[in-house]
Amino acid sequence: MSTVSENPTIIAPSSASHDAAGRARSYEVRTYGCQMNVHDSERLSGSLEAAGYIKADGVEPDVVVINTCAVRENADNKLYGNLGYLAGVKRRHAGMQIAVGGCLAQKDKNVILEKAPWVDVVFGTHNMGALPSLLERARHNDEAQIEILEALETFPSTLPTKRDSSYSGWVSISVGCNNTCTFCIVPALRGKEKDRRPGEVLSEIQSLVDDGALEVTLLGQNVNSYGVEFGDRLAFGKLLRAAGAIEGLERIRFTSPHPAAFTDDVIDAMAETPSVMPQLHMPLQSGSDRVLKAMRRSYRSAKFLGILERVRERMPHAAISTDIIVGFPGETEEDFQETLRVVEEARFATAFTFQYSIRPGTPAATMEEQVPKEVVQERYERLIALQDRISWEENEKVVGRTVQVLVGNHAGKKDADTNRLSGRAEDSRLVHFEVPAGSETPRPGDVVTVTVTQAAPFFLIADSVDDAPLVIRRTRSGDAWDRQEAESCGVPSGAADGGQGAPGPVLLGFPTLRAGGASTVPIYNTDDELR
């Protein structure tokens, strides 16, 4: 079993959370990168609120925390661009503090302070809970604080959390990675894989359900290799089945598995557990066996396609998404054609496609035959065009199908103009559905039954054909959303916010904490312009 502590991490109130007049200082957490980062940001928010800070809703924050990604070169550029802008803001905002954490902070360490000396705190992936004390120390000493640990001391799930979603949450089942993919720097930044005990994972899921959640997403760098640390290669399938037995949990998702470790017992568990959703994110990276070998991806295209075939045999309507890298060093046109072939055969519902960029510290960074930028761009555009066509064709197959949509917190860009709301179907496809005149309006966390009337490459539309009221199932999650809205308009008992309005509830420590995350979305943050 893991030796990492699962005892709740208590964050003490901080003297730095209030100014000299006793006003609670406000914070904002900005997140770059994957859903592991999103989940980490919820813990950062929870830790700050436990220390006495309040969320900066609509006002310029007193504390800006940037939770960084280190996967792509543009992550560096975006971080330092943002820090350059914040330097000017800080000059006119008395007492403002800036903190940088996450994967890029773990990698760059003191480089951040050399490039941006106005930053107050730099912390890594292994000590997120130290943020409040580091802010306090920086304020007291009037000098920047940097603390980068080289090994994980406590799972993030032991930290307080601030969860915006009433209906959905993230649950980390492992951290770190044992693979050695030549393009990836994540193992160097997050360490070797550490697995949580099954009972601890299930207790956290239960706490989410008790708090009103209908859906959880299990997280790990290679989620299906769960159990390697305690010697049970079938542990992940067992965990899916056990989670499926939790009363009130309606939707289980997970991300991201590794094709090399994806076994038939997991497929069986998915197919035989009703609450495991018919959705799978399976990273391909390349369709060329030669490139996969150079990437140290321990599978080949035939095995990858075989997995998809077996998944669809058991779950015919499963929506499968993927990751693909274009322009890996040495990739030829013939290699790229192999990727196009596999993509055509795989019929992905969606694909997250990346142009390869050099990451210092990875084996691929020093490989010969780096592909010229203009060649990578041209191949990238061809791949995008192919996948957009396939996504549209696959979505058109759903037209006429009745789907159960879990209503989301955030509307689509045109929902207000079209009198629509948005949510995710069982297979995680985004659905914009009409609310007919006179119909009751569902709450975030409620479930609506709609029929898909139109398809686009990236979403589905379900408009009413007879103006009948929506078929709505009111849920515990919708009730929890009502409670959150009520609390946001008043002051909960015991709150001390310096007259600035009440923050949402933050519960301290696993397993009684409000763990998890925002609504289920694609594995990567599609709004951060990093992908």
Give the annotated binding-site residues for [4Fe-4S] cluster: 34, 69, 103, 177, 181, 184
DSSP for 146-193 reads EE--SS--B-GGGS-B----SSEEEEESEES-----TT--HHHHH-S-
CB atoms within 10 A of CB 200: 19
CA 182 remoteness from chain centre: 23
Cα distance between residue 19 and residue 30, in whole Å: 22
Q: Which residues contact 378 (CB under 8 A, 6 or more apart)?
A: none
Strand 63-68 and strand 54-55: the pairing is unpaired
Binding-site residues: 34, 69, 103, 177, 181, 184
Q: Which residue, among 251, 248, 183, 192, has the nearest Cα to 220 in the 3D structure? A: 192
Q: Which residues contact 316 (CB under 8 A, 6 or more apart)?
A: none
Q: Is the dihedral of CA 338, 342, 345, 351 positive or negative?
A: negative
- Side chain identity, residue 191: G
Copy the structure tokens of residue 156: 């993030």
Please calculate the CA angle 384-385-386 and round it to the nearest 5 degrees. Answer: 90
Q: Which residues contact 92 (CB under 8 A, 6 or more apart)?
A: none
Cα distance between residue 168 and residue 447, in whole Å: 13
Q: What value does the CA radius of gyration of the chain take, rounded to a whole number of Å?
A: 23
Burial (0-12, 13-18, 19+ Cβ within 10 Å), 296: middle
Cα distance between residue 286 and residue 326, in whole Å: 8
Whether the CB-CB separation of 161 and 172 falls below 8 Å is answered with no
C-alpha distances out from residue 292 to 37, 77, 249, 309, 358, Å: 26, 28, 38, 20, 17
Three-class SS of 264-312: HHHHHHHHHCCCECCEEECCCECCCHHHHHHHCCCCCHHHHHHHHHHHH
Cα distance between residue 451 and residue 470, in whole Å: 11
DSSP for 312-364 reads HHH-TT-EEEEEEEES-TT--HHHHHHHHHHHHHHT-SEEEEEE----TTSGG
137-144 own/partner pairs: CB under 8 Å, 24+ apart: 138/97, 139/16, 139/95, 139/97, 140/16, 144/113, 144/117, 144/119, 144/120
